[in-house]
Amino acid sequence: MASTLTGNYPKRISGNLWVLGSHFFNHYLVIGGNAAALVEMGMSALLDNLNDQLESLGIEQDYLVVTLPHADHLTGMAGLVERYPQSVVVAGKGAREFASHPKALPAMAFEDSYVAMRLVERGIQPGRDAITTIHFPEGDRLKIVDAADSIDLGGVSLCLSLMSGHSPGNLLVEVPEQDALLVSDSLGFHYPGRGFLPLFFTGYPDFLKTLDKLEAKNPKFLGPGHGGPIRGRNSTAEAIEAVRQAAESLYRRIQAEGKRPGKLVADLFREYYVDEFTLYSEENIRNCLQLLVKRVMEEEEKSRL
């Protein structure tokens, strides 16, 4: 596990696009002629490693893009804002409100601390303490995306749009000059070589609509939040289709077994709480699986009305 977390990063994907961080927690750097943007905030435990990578490239960030307000995509924000005080934080509408919910901070702080502990067990020492607060910048330091928008970095563009199905404030970042889609967790959780766990936390039909939108764009590169980029049009098309099949299969399974939700969640947990997922707390993953079961049961209830 240690080697997958501390592998040979940063790596150039193509032209002005790089992947940083680690195999498990991916960040994407987009460099234009006038400005640069970092997509994905990651977790505070690995922030110092990320800063070292950015400094090795000699890049100062002008934009910090929050793709969604979950702990593993957000708790690194404060440290990045501190390190790059001139930067503008870009977030989707609803992300700040989700993160400011009274239940959100304790859960994110716990998960941030838990992941840090698990990294120490694997010989990776975090350079800073886990978060205790989450604050989005104010005024000109914050750009909220509530409709299709774009940022010109100088010959390279970030095309931003809200995606539904996974999380409030979930941003899709398209880099058209590189034919790349930075999708965060819009495809679910990426297990390289094993496929995806579809994460339709805010709605199964919306999750499928997002897959339709991504498929229609037919990208050359996909940038998930975990597991590394997917390259080549055939590979990206196969990945999106694999997510669709996994989502439909999981839906049918929950539909068939949902009358015993406790047993179903326990079975799913045994299947999915392996490999990369064990960096997260058991409580977090159980809650995620319970939410998937709940969303399917909600759709089934609607179908009976």
Task: Please list the pLDDT of the chain residue by residue as tens digits (305 residues).
Answer: 334 455 678 999 988 999 999 888 999 999 999 999 999 999 998 998 999 999 999 999 999 999 999 999 999 999 999 999 999 999 999 999 999 999 899 999 999 999 999 988 888 778 788 888 899 999 999 999 999 999 999 999 999 999 999 999 999 999 999 999 999 999 999 887 788 999 999 999 999 999 999 999 999 999 999 999 999 999 999 999 999 999 999 999 999 998 899 999 999 999 999 988 999 999 999 999 999 999 999 999 998 87
Domain annotation covers residue 74: yes
Token match 């940038």: residue? 223
* Strand 157-163, strand 149-152: pairing: antiparallel
Which residues are paired to 218 by β-bridges?
Answer: none
The number of C-alpha atoms within 13 Å of 53 and in the hemisphere containing its C-beta is 23
Pick from 12, 114, 6, 135: nearest CA to 66: 135
Domain count along the chain: 1
Structure tokens at 145: 């995306």
The phi and psi torsions of 34 (rounded to 5 degrees) equal -115, -20
Domain annotation covers residue 157: yes
Domain annotation covers residue 112: yes
Give dist(CA 94, CA 164) in Å, integer: 11
H-assigned helices in 76-203 = 77-83, 95-99, 104-121
CATH code assigned at 12 = 3.60.15.10
Report helix, strand or coil for 174: strand
Domain annotation covers residue 223: yes
Domain annotation covers residue 51: yes
Q: Which domain holds residue 241?
A: 2-245
Identity (one letter) of the amino acid at 28?
Y
Cα dist. 226→65, 126, 276 in Å? Answer: 16, 19, 9
The phi and psi torsions of 269 (rounded to 5 degrees) equal -60, -45
